[in-house]
Amino acid sequence: MKMTTRHSRRTIVVGVDGSDDAVRAVRWAATEADRRGSLLRLVTAIPWTDDQLVGLPGVDQDRYGTHLQVESEKRLVAAVDVATSTRPGVQVEHALVVGSASGVLSVEAEEAELLVVGDRGHGRFGSLLAGSVAVAMASHAVCPVVVVRGEDRAVVTTAADASAPVVVGIDTTPTSEAAIAFAFDAAAVRRAPLVVVHTWIDALSDSYLAPIVDWDALAEEERGHLAERLAGWNEKYPDVAVERIVANGRAAHVLLELSERAQLVVVGSRGHGEFAGLVLGSVSNALVHKAGCPVAVVRSADEPA
């Protein structure tokens, strides 16, 4: 195996920490790299420097550093074995990098086409719904991020369960374009159907106004907005079967329900109407924490990291 420090071709980067969730992320990423013909890059961060052990009695800094590096290398070797056994033809490289996991993966994301992480890693609070690294990467990475969640049926998809759809949640503004593009491409490479979800909650929720609102007309208007947003995508991906869902409800609730039967859910990092200062939008945050399948968070091209 070749240790490398930079990459120059289409690359899927996976954060590896030896946890079961990271192993599942490697399996998912190996399958995805095989589909895309991409290089798979496995990265382990070593969050340690000499000054961390200053003043600790009975601890030999050199021995500890060597031990940490050896154990990290073992994790990488095990992860490579997982990747090559999952998809024998995939090309794999690996790297040990000194630094915090979030910092190291943020730098890796700058040259990656996709960053993949487990929903929880080795951390202090095993009961957390989603780990801090997963949330940080979904919030800040400059490339699309997949947080691998859900049952194994959605981690390594085979021909037998390819009928499980890719689901994408969108609003009707240009900020959804990146998520739409990612979702159509994901459905195409999987030969899977695509479910496009647009939800709306009417502002006229006052009980006195509700009886006089033409809800059918409002729903028809929303369907028109969705059709405008999808214009051209069906022509670009004629082999992708598309189901459109327009619902008066909360996007997170609808997408979480659909995630139980999907192989991938795609969302933007923030949606229309959400505060620009949010680290992660309410819908994407809910999916990263609770979805029943892997979640792709795709940043809009004009959204700052």
Fold (topology level) of 153-298: Rossmann fold (3.40.50)
pTM above 0.85? no
Please tell me the least confidently modeled range out of 99-103, 201-205, 266-270, 292-296.
Answer: 201-205
Contact, 243 vs 187, CB < 8 A?
A: no
User: Is residue 157's pLDDT more than 60?
Assistant: no
pLDDT for 164 equals 94
Q: pLDDT-based confidence at 71, cuts 50/70/90?
A: confident
H helix intervals, 52-131: 61-86, 101-109
| Alpha carbons 241 and 134: distance in angstroms, whole number | 31
Q: Boundaries of CATH 3.40.50.12370 in the chain?
A: 153-298
- Per-residue pLDDT tens digits for 230-281: 989 989 999 999 999 998 888 899 999 999 999 999 999 865 444 333 446 7
pLDDT for 225 equals 81
- Per-residue pLDDT tens digits for 194-229: 999 998 775 455 555 566 767 778 778 888 888 888
Average pLDDT for residues 276-298, to the nearest whole number? 81
CB contact burial 9-46 (16+ within 10 A = b; e otherwise): eebbbbbbbbbebbbbbbbbbbbbbbbbebbbbbbbbb
Please tell me the least confidently modeled range out of 72-81, 161-170, 278-287.
Answer: 278-287
pLDDT for 184 equals 97
At the top level of CATH, which class does the domain 11-148 belong to?
A: alpha beta
Name the token pair of 51. 């000054």
User: Is residue 18's pLDDT more than 90?
Assistant: no
Tell me the average pLDDT of the chain.
Answer: 81
Nearest Cα to Cα of residue 181 among 241, 232, 251: 232
CB contact burial 154-192 (16+ within 10 A = b; e otherwise): bbbbeeeeeebbbbbbbbbeebbbbbbbbbbbbbbebeb
Q: Percentage of the chain surpassing pLDDT 70?
A: 75
Average pLDDT for residues 30-40, to the nearest whole number? 96
User: Is residue 81's pLDDT more than 50?
Assistant: yes
Average pLDDT for residues 52-63, to the nearest whole number? 52
Report helix, strand or coil for 40: strand
Q: Boundaries of CATH 3.40.50.620 in the chain?
A: 11-148
Residue 6 phi, psi dihedral angles, 5° rounding? -135, 165
pLDDT for 62 equals 61
Please tell me the least confidently modeled range out of 12-16, 42-46, 74-78, 157-161.
Answer: 157-161
